[in-house]
Amino acid sequence: MGVYDYEYGSKVNKNGNKVISIKDFTSSNILYAERKGDNVQIKMKRSGETIGISVPVELLERLLKDIKENSENEKKGV
């Protein structure tokens, strides 16, 4: 994953929602993602400040699909 070392973790909360966390090499949580119904709540921590957004699951799925397609095209030289 580039220059940095990351640790990917996931757990299930008491309410049944899965929470994803990504930590950087300093063991600081830099990203949390939790699905809540048809949305994914994403919180990012940077310089001691936390910001968050809520994005529809469908939009994230489209984003990942486009990233995968772009990566495959780069490998093919397209």
Q: Single out the residue of 51, 6, 9, 43 nearest to residue 26, CA to CA.
A: 6
Residue 69: the pLDDT is 87
Instruction: Read off the pLDDT of residues 50-78 as tens digits, 9 standing for 90 and up.
Output: 999 999 999 999 999 999 887 777 777 76
Is residue 29 predicted with pLDDT exceeding 70? no
The secondary structure of residue 69, as a DSSP letter, is H
Domain boundaries, the chain: 7-76
Q: Evaluate if residue 20 carries a pLDDT over 60.
A: yes
- Of 12 and 46, the structure prediction assigns the larger pLDDT to 12
Binned at pLDDT 50, 70 and 90, residue 27 comes out as low
